[in-house]
Amino acid sequence: MIGSPDVVAFAKEDEYGQTSPDLWPLPEEFSVPLYPLADSNPWAKTSYAKFTKDFILISEFSEQVGPQPLLTIPDDPKVCGTFDLNYFSLRIMSVDYQASFVGHPPGTGYPRLSFVEDSRVVLGDSKEGAFAYVHHLTLYDLEARGFVRPFCMAYVAADEKKIMLQFQELSLRFSQASECLKAGNRRAFAKELQRKLRDLEYTHSVLQREEGLQREAGPQSMYSAHAVEKANELANVEKSIFEHRDLLKQISSYHRRPRRDPHAVTCQKCVDECLSECEELLNKYAKIAYPCGYGEKAGKGEDGQGHPRGQGEDDDEEEEEGVKRKLSYTPQLIKAKSAKCFDKRLKTLQELCDKTFYEATVELLKETERSFRGDLCYLYTRRLDKALQRKQRVTTFLFEEDLNDDDEDELGTLRPFCAVNHAVDNYVLLNPPPIVLAPEPHELDALERPEHLDPASETSITLESELGLGESHLESSPSDQTLETQESSEETKGSFSSDKSGVGLAEIQQSLVSMKSEAPDPDPDSDLTPDPNHNLERESSSEEMETTAGEDEGENGGDQTPVSLLEVVSELEANREEEFEGVSGSELLVPIDTACCMVQEGFLYEASAPEAVPHPCQNSHLQPSQTLVVNQEPQALLPLQDDYTVGSPCSESPATGLDLPSGLLGDAVSRTSAEDGSDCTMSASTGSDQTASPLGYGALVTLRQRKKAGQGALRFVRQYPFAIQALWCLLSGRTLVVLGADEGRVRRLVAALALFVPAPGKCGERVQAWLSCPFTLTDLQRWKLIGLQRVASPLGSSMLYSLSRYSRYISILDADHKTLRCPQYRGQLLANIADHRTYIRRGSTYFLHLQSTLCHLAAKAFLFTFTHHLHLPVSSTEGLEVVESRRRCFLQEQLGLSEEDSQILLYLSQLITQQYLQPTGSSAAAPSFSFNYTTSILYKI
Amino acid sequence: MKSPVLCIGEEQPKNCFTELQVLKGHFDIVRFLVQIDDFRCASAGDDGLVLVWNVETGERLQELRGHSQQITAITTITCKNEVTLNTSLITASSDRSLSLWDPDTGNRVQTISDLHSSVKCLLVLERLCVWLSGGEELCVWNRDFQLQCQRPNHSDTGITALIELPKNYIAAAMDKKIMIYSLTVSADSSVSVAEIRCLSDHQDQIRALINVNDGFFASGSHMGELILWNATEWNLLAYEHILWEESQAYNQTEIRMGAPKPSEMSIQHLTTNGNLILAAVGSGLYVYSIQTRSVVAYRKVAHDSNVLHTMLLSDSELMSCSEDGSVRMWEIQDLPLPAEPASSGFFGMWSFGRSNKQSGPPSKKVIDIPNIRMLELMGDLIGHSGAVQMFVSFKEKGLVTCSADHLLILWKNGEKQSRLRSLALFQKLEERGGL
């Protein structure tokens, strides 16, 4: 009978076609599983892989030992099991990564940093049962070959399809992580360069001194082998200085490069900060150490300061130490030949990236790992669910858990991930407004503009001239050196005007300098950055940077005002100069310390619009004038952002979910509503310990808690025959008081019943789990579910008095005596969620069952609320009775609801109306409290 | 103690107040409510604060601060400027000051402090453009808070109530007496007050004094005397001693049970609609008909505690609030079987309606009045946790009650409110052009 054509006709044709050759399959018990099941979970395909669940692997292609795994997320050896990470690292790192330029490209005199875009590939190892999304990136390391260190981050899963279908999302997340790492790396690299330059300069000065001694010793020694060697060495050092300076320039121009990678979105602020730091450094090292002739002149100039030539280096060092006591870094002589790569220790990933950035990246990856837990079907339904929820804000507040805005951003747009802000303050991070901290170097025109636009900076210029600090003529002197130097001096010029303003203000705000000492400064190198302005001013007359810088520090009372920050300050908030002064002071002191972001946050972003979105780095190469507009009006950026998002290929799909084939999609949709499907989706999530959804960030009532409560609710329904009445009370807005002597029991009951409270609020504000004092009318108004302590004392009697007094507004569930006093419910609507003899055994199943019923209710309530003629007369001649009867007809006949069921709908409708009228719930008026006058009945078990 | 009849229970189909808003703002007992216009009311109490509320939304509109002690009297005064009616508030406080407030702006427009005594009652005579304050002395003020004239008084208690009588006469209740004053406005618009007559028919302190209509005014005393006066001739038209016979009867028959204490027969409050006078006597309610000069309906124990304020909503509906914290709505109903001969059916009703405590032989008085009707409890409003001091009805818009628990409650018709919200919803929907 089963095989008859009638039955088949109802099935799909293709299914028929597929099944026909296998008409007589082996009975289940005789079949041998293709892969031995490692665990009994049939939904996880990971069963034949050597690891139990998906993980993230970070590997490196070390120039010393080759590919090696660095860490896994989660960092738990159990996760990987017997899976060979070394082997897999080899696999994923051996992919022909984009050929990167190393060394000296033809036509340029200096080594070039290679700006390599990340690459994304999906790799599989079917033998191992492992598939991976692999994200390659390179980080800069001064000591590494070609200055680059290749890394990769891989999302390793057993399900190839999962990776393929999640590719966009994975790419997005890993791009964020990668950008974060790279941002930190650029900072660290700049810091390293700075240190190196410092060493080089020092070496240079020492060599020069030695050379000078030789020259004084006589012409014959000028041509000795020793002297020639010294001269060569000096030349080498000079070359090295130029090289490193060039590197610094390159790294600072990093962000201006057009990015081909649509996913590469960086936090503009971090980029800008890094840029400004590099710029400072560039300014500082722009005009050091020139070939001998010039150096001698400069040296003479320096003699004026009472430094007799030929002092020993120890002496010199001591002198330096004396001048700038604060400096903790001692420059070192650089040997002519640096150590070869095999006998030096390579920097770790933590060292390569700034610590904050590294940690933030790891956090981000952890978050990523969490959000990709579960099988594809589960992921898909959840995403679909979220997408739908987002569209139905009118009703979702009733029964759904609150969606995080954070979450929304993540999916909808390319939200740049900023390590610093993220680590410091969550919600500030969410909308860091696009503020360009530093003006673009090389573009003098652009620079002139903001200043003239802005009265504040004009003021500062005047101040500066009054103080006699306008030494712009000084900086022109070295500009005729080489092409490179000219460039750098132009850069200097570019930011010079703002420098001056900085100085001017700084002089005034001397007192605020004291803030420096309080600045959180874990970085010993931070003091290495002296004030670029002063360097600049002195530069033409001095050769020895160290000394001058140190003296400057002394002269100015350690006043160190960074350039670009002040620019912003004056642009943004002219009247806040003082505070910024302080802030920027600390910023300079801690030039690479990321904590300063937070401080700036407080001031800079206070006035900015909350909806402002940081712009992706693609925008940073806009015309400077445009950037300036953005600078002043954060909102102006929004259209730009939108354009960008729409244009990018990945913008669409993450919002709505995966690009599943339609058949699969249909499947998933049906599963969301069907109860049988829910069990299997749950098993992937609730079965293990992965229930916590990644969205439970700020909301106290998480999905996990709610699912847990499902068990309690199921128990309640099965245990109490009058559960249906209690549920009806909650759903129809009648406050339910759970009375009991045992706190644990009452709390458990309340937690279980809280599932049924419509619109419980983000943190469950409408539920009071445990109350031990008499309540008042306002309490009833505020809480829809109250756990009340039963006490045998005078207090208890007054409590009982309030119970009886307000008995018309409440239902009382006595947990001790197992009674319920509430109005009678005769409806049918709740019968399927409050079935005393339900076959549902699992809490999570019940929860989903409940969700679907409540969702259904919410949909009905929505329909009811927004159907005009059910509430208001259609024509002016119509009386209220007509409307009333129409409403009754709709509820009873069309929706098939009894009187009590209608009350549920009316209550939900009222909530929807209130929510719609006052979405924030903030109203000057007191909330209203509705009730009916109906008789209560005492139910016993 | 509690009469079973008074427990109406939770089923109240005729009670339309199915929504409430709790209005917070006071820090002490709220004693007074005045209606400013059709959507605003002001509340005042022992904290010296006067708050102005929007009854439609429940918003607090203004907070009038200035008095350092409790408010003893509050009234509205309306000025007719060209086109607009401008309503202001006059308040009197125990700090012996009087203030004039603008409820629109919350400004204290005028203030007089350092009065000799605190003012206990206020009376505005719109017609003469003056207002009077009564306390230990009677003062007449003009709109600009200038004292027109002043009349000291010899009674210890001072003036407790003031009403306006026809032809520029004023009646003032002082202890057991009612003084009739005449107000004369001379050509130079100066006002003088003259004592015309003293009515001393009350045996006890006068607790309530009201205008009934153009022809009558009424007063009630602490021991339950209700006297109807002719408003022009100032003579006694009717004297009703509520509960008198009963207390006499008790005194004669069962002394041990004890006669009702004076406080139980005290007329706390009188209200009228021109045809009927509603007297709050102890915890009971008595409806007195002007026409028949007799009590037409009563409920001896209408509340668990003293009734503090009453109101006649119509000829058949009334409302009362009490120290027990509830507001009750009553309906004057005809006897269930009007055709039946009075005695038996009537007796049944009577014994049913009475509280257990007073169960005894029906008094003669009741039987004497053939056309007595029932006072049936229609519904009650429970929300306050302290004595409900007063209430003001805004008809369709709701009812405001104030209480010793520092709260005001705005009671509304839930259906109507829901309709209004729906209206607002669809308006917003239209403005937004969709969801």
Interface of A with B (CB under 8 A): 394, 776-778, 781, 802, 805-808, 823, 865-866, 868, 871-872, 880, 906, 910, 913-914, 916-917, 924-936
Of the two residues A894 and A294, the one the predictor is more confident about is: A894
- CB A494 within 8 Å of CB A447: yes
Residue A614's pLDDT is 40
Section B159-174 average pLDDT: 90
Contact list in B for residue A872 (CB cut-off 8 A) is: 419, 422-423, 426
Residue B26 has pLDDT above 90, yes or no: yes
Torsion angle of C-alpha atoms A388, A391, A397, A400, degrees rounded to 10: 10
| Listed residue (A662, A70, A154) closest to A353, CA to CA | A70
Amino acid at B45: G
ipTM: 0.84
Residue A304's pLDDT is 37
Section B360-389 average pLDDT: 71
Section A552-574 average pLDDT: 38
Most confident of A345-354, A411-420, A593-602, A723-732: A723-732
Contact list in A for residue B13 (CB cut-off 8 A) is: 933
Section A222-230 average pLDDT: 76
Q: Nearest residue on chain A to B434, judged by CA atoms?
A: A866
State whether A917 and B428 contact (CB < 8 Å): yes
Contact list in A for residue B19 (CB cut-off 8 A) is: 928-931
Of the two residues A631 and A138, the one the predictor is more confident about is: A138
pLDDT tens-place string over residues B205-229: 899 999 998 889 999 998 888 999 9
How many Cβ atoms from other residues are within 10 Å of residue A238's Cβ?
20
Residue A203: φ, ψ to 5°: -55, -45
Q: State the pLDDT confidence band at A498, using cuts at 50, 70 and 90.
A: very low
Residue B190, chain A, CB below 8 Å: the answer is no
Section A247-266 average pLDDT: 69
Residue A25's pLDDT is 62
State whether B385 and A802 contact (CB < 8 Å): yes
Q: Residues of chain A with pLDDT > 90: what percent?
A: 4
pLDDT tens-place string over residues B252-296: 444 444 455 666 788 989 999 888 999 998 888 999 988 888 888
Contact list in B for residue A930 (CB cut-off 8 A) is: 18-19, 414, 417-418
Q: How far is residue A913's CA from residue A930's CA, in Å, rounded to a whole number?
A: 14
Section A889-893 average pLDDT: 90
Residue B332 has pLDDT above 70, yes or no: yes
State whether B385 and A777 contact (CB < 8 Å): yes
Q: Per-residue b/e over A301-317, b at no fewer than 16 CB within 10 Å?
A: ebeeeebeeeeeeeebe
Section A684-695 average pLDDT: 31
Residue A51's pLDDT is 77
| Listed residue (A461, A489, A462) closest to A477, CA to CA | A489
Residue A97's pLDDT is 54
Residue A539's pLDDT is 39
Q: What is the DSSP letter of B373?
A: B
| Listed residue (A54, A170, A116, A139) closest to A357, CA to CA | A139
Residue A102's pLDDT is 45
Residue A137: φ, ψ to 5°: -150, 160
Q: How far is residue B152's CA from residue B293's CA, in Å, rounded to a whole number?
A: 36
Q: State the pLDDT confidence band at B42, using cuts at 50, 70 and 90.
A: very high
Amino acid at A163: I
State whether B22 and A935 contact (CB < 8 Å): no
Range with lowest mean pLDDT among A175-189, A253-267, A575-589: A575-589
Residue B339's pLDDT is 46
Q: State the pLDDT confidence band at B32, using cuts at 50, 70 and 90.
A: very high
Residue B33's pLDDT is 94
pLDDT tens-place string over residues A739-793: 988 889 999 899 899 889 988 877 778 888 888 888 888 888 888 999 988 887 7
How many CA atoms lie within 13 Å of B93's alpha carbon, on the beta-carbon side? 26
Q: How does the average pLDDT of chain A come out, rounded? A: 64
Residue B52's pLDDT is 94
Which of B2, B7, B8, B10 would you mutate first to test chain A, the one with the most A CBs within 10 A? B10
Q: Nearest residue on chain B to A808, judged by CA atoms?
A: B10
Residue A331's pLDDT is 65
Contact list in B for residue A931 (CB cut-off 8 A) is: 18-20, 414
Q: Residues of chain B with pLDDT > 70: what percent?
A: 85
- Whole-number Cα distances in Å, A551 to A130, A558, A577: 61, 9, 26
State whether B13 and A930 contact (CB < 8 Å): no
Contact list in B for residue A777 (CB cut-off 8 A) is: 20, 22, 383-385, 407, 409
State whether A872 and B423 contact (CB < 8 Å): yes
Shortest Cα–Cα distance, B21 to chain A (Å): 5
Residue B311's pLDDT is 92
What's the alpha-carbon Rg for chain B, to the nearest Å? 23
Shortest Cα–Cα distance, A886 to chain B (Å): 14
Residue A670's pLDDT is 36
Range with lowest mean pLDDT among A209-223, A234-248, A443-457, B190-204: A443-457
pLDDT tens-place string over residues A839-864: 888 888 898 898 889 888 898 999 99
Residue A322's pLDDT is 39
For chain B positions 13-72, those within 8 Å of chain A (CB to CB) are 13, 15, 18-24, 54, 57-60
